[in-house]
Amino acid sequence: MLSRAVLVAVSLLAAAAQAAPPADVTVRETGLGARYTDAKGKSLYTYAKDNDGQSLCIDRCAQTWPPLIAGETAAPAGDWTLVTRPDGARQWAFKGRPLYTYSRDPAPGATMGDGIQEVWRLALDLAPRPKGILYQGTLSGWVAATSGGATLYVRDGEKDSSAKLCADTCLRGWRPAAAPAIANPIGDWSVVARADGVSQWAYRHQPVYVSQDDTVPGDVNADGRDGKWHALVLEAAPALPNGFKLGPSDYGPIVVDAQGMTLYSIPNYNAISKTLCLADCLNTYWRPVPATEGTKPSGNWSVMKGLDGQPQWAYRGELLFMHTRDKRPGEIEGDRFASGTGNFGWDVIQATSLIGRSF
């Protein structure tokens, strides 16, 4: 009798913990797990320095990281609790962690705050996964990778139950993502015993592979290979804004405009590069990427006021420019312009660059 009572009590507690999120929070189920946003779709974050039940982000910090304030009638439920801020306002917390938005996130889907100062993290409830699997942020979204950072790929139509897995000539340029011999399935991840004796990870029953064309973490060089290999994207990033696309370059795919001309961003222009590219230099070599009226931000892409006061496209909060010496698609004359001894100036936006934190 006693044990049954304990079981019932545990079940009730579990049900309470899994209570539906409050109305101020939206949950999106992705391959990463449950991702939490505010009612407008802006990403929510946690702050590693917060103590349980107390927010340490106040004053100026709270201007940059607005707390997710609960409505007057809000009541805690399960993992969702309320903390009282120094000004008396009540702030939502998940599993004891107060929640915030990031003021520089321009649009729903933006995740610019993730990883800042290594203490701000996206609020998410990670789905169970093997220890050897890493999630990496790229332009295309969150991509699964080996612990060494090699992107994982799946092949259209292949299942762990397929009579014949990719082998022999099919494996040219590919390697099964090996699981430890004693690995157990966990969450969406299972283990396939290959005919060649290798234990291979599978995601949602699709065996996963790594490509020999990828050399550094973040590379997705084999995505789309033969029309049937695809990087394992667990949460896709919002699409590029209209008029932007990926084009070829010496860096591999980079973001270009509709005519194929390279786009550049510069981190922290005002603080770093004023001594490197003064006003004449700016006017001579750089042309803002104008945002037309009615342009809407998308994910990490936003519209900001340019140095000339006109609306200008920005990526992750950095104004976008085109270089006046680029005359043809594929040219990257402006890359690392105004790089000095302590910074690397203007950058192209590579499809394969790692963005934010890997975890």
How many residues lie near other proteins (CB under 8 A)? Answer: 28
Residues 226-255 that bind other proteins (CB under 8 A): 248-252
Of 221, 298, 302, 353, the one binding other proteins (CB under 8 A) is 221
Name the residue with tokens 């994910």: 299
Burial degree of 163 (CB within 10 A; 0-12, 13-18, 19+): exposed
Residue 213 contacts other proteins per CB under 8 A: yes
Query: Which DSSP helix (H) or strand (E) runs through 269?
Result: helix 269-272
What one-letter code names the amino acid at 2? L
Residue 352 contacts other proteins per CB under 8 A: no
Identity of the residue, 183 or 246, whose beta carbon is nearer to other proteins in the bound complex = 246
Strand partners, 210: 152, 175
In the complex, what is the shortest distance from the CB of residue 249 to other proteins, in angstroms, rounded to a whole number? 6
The answer to whether 181 touches 120, Cβ cutoff 8 Å, is: no
Burial degree of 78 (CB within 10 A; 0-12, 13-18, 19+): middle
Q: Is the dihedral of CA 189, 171, 219, 230 positive or negative?
A: negative
In the complex, what is the shortest distance from the CB of residue 345 to other proteins, in angstroms, rounded to a whole number? 8
Pattern 260-289, other proteins, x by CB under 8 A: ---------------xxxx--x--------
Identity of the residue, 290 or 329, whose beta carbon is nearer to other proteins in the bound complex = 329
CA gap 177, 200 in Å, rounded: 6
Of 331, 357, 358, 359, the one binding other proteins (CB under 8 A) is 331
Strands of the 133-138 sheet, one edge to the other: 133-138, 141-146, 233-236
Identity of the residue, 131 or 327, whose beta carbon is nearer to other proteins in the bound complex = 327
Of 338, 351, 354, 355, the one binding other proteins (CB under 8 A) is 338
Residue 339 contacts other proteins per CB under 8 A: yes
Pattern 156-195, other proteins, x by CB under 8 A: ----------------------------------------
Identity of the residue, 84 or 215, whose beta carbon is nearer to other proteins in the bound complex = 215
DSSP 43: B
Residue 219: strand, helix, or coil = coil
Token pair for residue 96?
A: 């004891």
Return residues touching other proteins (CB under 8 A): 213, 215, 221, 248-252, 275-278, 281, 325, 328-333, 335-342
